[in-house]
Amino acid sequence: MSTPNGPPLPLHDAPPGARQELAVVLPVRLPGVPDWAEGPFPFELGSRRTDTATRSTYFTPASARALYGVPGRPRRWHQPLDVKQDGMRLLGVELLCASTTVGAEQGLAILHFTVEDPLLPVLRALSGRPGDRTDPLSGRFDPARLLEGVAELPGDRSPFAITRPYPIAFMSPTAAHRSALRAGPDDRVPASADQWLWQLASRSTAEDFPVPPECTDDLLKDVVRISADWSALVLRQGAAFLGHRADTGEGDFYGFAALHFRTVYLDALLLGMLQRDHIDVLTDQLSEVFDATGLAGRVAALERNIAVFRSTYWRQHLTAHGPANDLLLAFQRQHRLPERFAEILAEAADYSRLVQTRESQQISGALGVLTILGLPLGTALGVLQVLDDKSMAHLFIALGASVAATAGALTTRYGRLVLAALRGGDN
């Protein structure tokens, strides 16, 4: 990526960071309840253990239920592992139930790695970009192998929005990564640091994706300054966290930062993915409203699905801790979720008004038919009653005459309008 301040920064040639953590999210199918331990992966730092109870304190109750479930109905499971391959170490795997109204078996798998080699080549390989490094999710890290008997990878007709694994990377710099560091505690983050952040989040180099300098500010407008020590950037196909102070090693704040990256901040992005998948489903359901008969039933089901989504998943404030909210909002902006959901609400309201209009027309039509049928018949019977005529022949003649009068009335323009309203159609 180039900027007006200098030539492209060859991040792919930079040495590894002091700490390099990587979470890879990919869609799966959950044919049954996994026999793994319930709850999110309980990472530990000192005496702190980030299990379900600890993480739930960071989120609103509704958000915690969406991410972890409730006692007796969990939505999250984990399996500790220790697998090494090609400069990477797999610490464990998590599964999150991501079921929707059209995909009860949908789920998300989260693979937790530490990376010893330079981080950007790993991310580029995950995105399928050409290079010397093989796909990190192969061999011993093949998801199909890791999840065998527990979850399945979706096929080509997957309803998921994720087409490739979604990497979320964390890197704390050493003193050698001068381009990522603040010159001092009170100095601003250099433009070169945001170049690094962009490349990590976009999984690309300047050669992969040359960005015009005129677009730089717009692309970096969603950078989240978590603190003076580190920043984050969320994009459509990846996210990254980068430190701006040299990591001093054991006992440094970056240990706590890495813990938050793997837990609270990861969960904020996972909630955004759940929201995106549900909005995709609602959009598809809107497009199919007129594909079959039973419009009223389809609209009623759609309104119920919207209400369930709104009460269960749709949150723009999920915690009192600002950075997690900022990350969720950044994810939503990248996928235009607020605008898309507003469009869904507006379109569903239009369909609801259409159904109400048709029902009103049908009720009016039914009343019109009763009027057309009742007036001739009531008149004929009234005449017979006034004349005190009890002849059955005269009664049948009166009935026949009323039927003929009704049939004649239905052939008029008013009668056709009444019948059309009763059918719910136009005339």
Q: What is the pLDDT of residues 155-214, one digit of tens each?
A: 655 544 566 789 999 999 999 888 899 888 788 998 889 989 999 999 988 888 877 777
Q: What is the DSSP string of 131-188?
A: SSSPPSSSGGG-HHHHTTTT-B---TT---S-SS-EEEEEEE--TT-GGGS-SSTTSP
Q: Are the C-beta atoms of residues 346 and 286 closer than 8 Å to each other?
A: no
Bridge-based pairing state of the strands 238-243 and 48-49? unpaired
More confident residue, 381 or 75: 75
Distance in angstroms (rounded) separating the CA atoms of residues 197 and 229:
13
What is the pLDDT averaged over residues 256-273? 94
| Encoded tokens for 14 | 């930079």
Q: How confident is the model at residue 3 (pLDDT cuts 50, 70, 90)?
A: very low
State residue 390's pLDDT score.
Answer: 62
**Signed CA dihedral, 5, 8, 11, 15: sign only:** negative
Beta bridge partners of 335: none
- The residue type found at 228 is A
Identify the pLDDT of residue 170: 97
Are the CB atoms for 283 and 340 separated by under 8 Å? yes
* In the predicted structure, residue 231 carries a pLDDT above the cut 90: yes
Helices 337-386 & 322-334, crossing angle to 10 degrees? 70
| Tens digit of each residue's pLDDT (9 = 90 or more) over 128-159 | 888 778 899 999 999 999 999 999 988 655 54
Q: Residue 297 pLDDT more than 70?
A: yes
pLDDT at 367: 58
Helix axes of 266-287 and 61-68: crossing angle, nearest 10 degrees:
80
Residue 337 confidence class, pLDDT cut points 50, 70, 90: very high
What pLDDT was estimated at residue 427? 39
Note whether 25 and 110 are within 8 A (CB): yes
Residue of 194, 186, 190 whose CA lies nearest to 211: 194
CB 267 within 8 A of CB 179: no
Instruction: Give the least confident one: 95-109, 247-261, 334-348, 394-408.
Output: 394-408
Residue 343 reports pLDDT greater than 80: yes
Paired with 29 in beta bridges are: 106, 152
Q: In terms of pLDDT, which residue wins out, 133 or 375?
A: 133
Determine the pLDDT at residue 426.
45
Q: Write down the pLDDT at residue 5.
A: 41
Provide the pLDDT confidence category of residue 224 given band limits of 50, 70 and 90.
very high
- The pLDDT of residue 47: 84
pLDDT tens per residue, range 34-77: 999 999 999 999 888 999 998 888 888 888 899 999 988 999 99
Return all residues near 199 (Cβ < 8 A) that are at least 6 apart.
Answer: 1, 9, 11, 120, 205, 206
Which pLDDT band, with edges at 50, 70 and 90, does 373 fall under?
low
Reported as a pLDDT band with limits 50, 70 and 90, residue 338 is very high
Q: What is the pLDDT at residue 359?
A: 59
Q: Are 364 and 419 in contact (CB under 8 A)?
A: no
- Which of 238-252 are b and which e, b meaning 16 or more Cβ less than 10 Å from the residue's Cβ? bbbbbbbbbbeeeeb
Q: SS in 3 state form for 60-97?
A: CHHHHHHHHEECCEECEEEEEEEEEECCEEEEEEEEEE
Beta bridge partners of 152: 29
Dig out the tokens for 130 from the structure: 């050409």
Looking at residue 314, its pLDDT comes to: 85
The per-residue pLDDT for 85 is: 95
Place 352 in a pLDDT band, splitting at 50, 70 and 90: confident
Q: What is the pLDDT of residue 105?
A: 87
